[in-house]
Structure 1
Amino acid sequence: MTEDHHVWGVNHARPEHADRVANAARGTRTDDDTPVVVAVDGPAGSGKSSLAALVCDRLGDVACVHLDDVFPGWDGLASAPALLAAQVLAPLSRREPAGYRRFDWPTGRYAELVPVPARRFVVVEGCSSTVGIARPYVDVRVWVEAEHDTRMRRGLERSGDEFGPNWERWARQEEAVFAADRTREHAHLIFRTDGDR
């Protein structure tokens, strides 16, 4: 993935979906002054980044975390929930400083520490952001989906030659992780970004 892999381009999300997510987040009250955590999960190319961008616009006082910056490479999907929980979600829940090491895709190594400020809302977007150990920290779990060929086309349009050879490799990890975790079943909100949305 390139350094600008999570720059939002064509918006595949619908404004009314973002409104529902933002309203759910605003309606969530924590027992203390910890942030309300919203996570947008689902397979690659489904429109997670597009929806997260709209949600962030609506929430205002928000910090955003892109799991593309956390995955340790093309074979690292399964390790992302533990990394997210340990570096970001657990510290925020304890009102401690949070931050993650950004994975530099071109060099294949971790780079600088990216702090995650404690805002009223924290929006996490990315595959496996609501899986397993990360789930208990997430107040609003969102699942975004689209038909396989649509998602693949979007991925190729966004990341081009780099994504193409890795599509099936990544998709196999998604299928295994999401099936074992039953991730979709744990979502509070489910949206489609193709056909009947």
Structure 2
Amino acid sequence: MKASAWLRGTVDLVLTVVFILVAISGIALYQAPPGRVADAIGWTFLGATKDTWETVHTYLGFVMIGLVAIHLVVGFNSMIVMLRSAFKKSRVKVAGSLVLIGLVLVGGYFAFAALTAEEETTYETTSSEGTSVTTVDNTTIEITGSMLKSLTLEQLAKMYDVDPQKLVEILKADYNIEAQPTQLLETIEINNELDREQFKEILAEAIAKAKQEGG
């Protein structure tokens, strides 16, 4: 397909801009806390929430697919001509380039597979280290070690739609635990000299009770 230099330049420029934005959104999602933790702690990256970055990354991904397709159609003939010319001049270099591209693709696949496996292992480890309680309204309450390190009592209460002050009262009345809504969960654990696994169970039970009593 013959195309003007203006069209080629425009496609390349837009593709470059979209690539940069996709890279930025990918970095944002890589750094984002898992699951509902991002919403609970009000996490943002460059002023945007995790949900916003997920939307941006998804839509820009589709835009990039379209732009790459246009880029290939517009430059297909030129690509074939250049490959034929290069092949005539040096078949060894062309073959080496193809092998190098293949190695990069294979290496990328294994790197992605390793990263995915690592994320799954981390998730399974986190889940196994967590404490889960299912309340009468079928809401599963899960407390993990990462939540203790990153959430305040108030943020945890908001995650499960209960009143933070009510949770403070239950912890004091039922478990003799002194706590303030703005305190980090790990700080409450340390200040009250609690065993971590026991504290996870207490928090799950306290949240379940708060939900049963109407928040």
- Structure with higher strand content: 1
Structure with the higher fraction of residues in helix conformation? 2
Instruction: Compare relative contact order (CA 8 Å, sep 6+) and give the higher one, 1 or 2.
Output: 1
> Do both share a fold (TM > 0.5)?
no
TM-score bracket, shorter-length normalisation: under 0.3
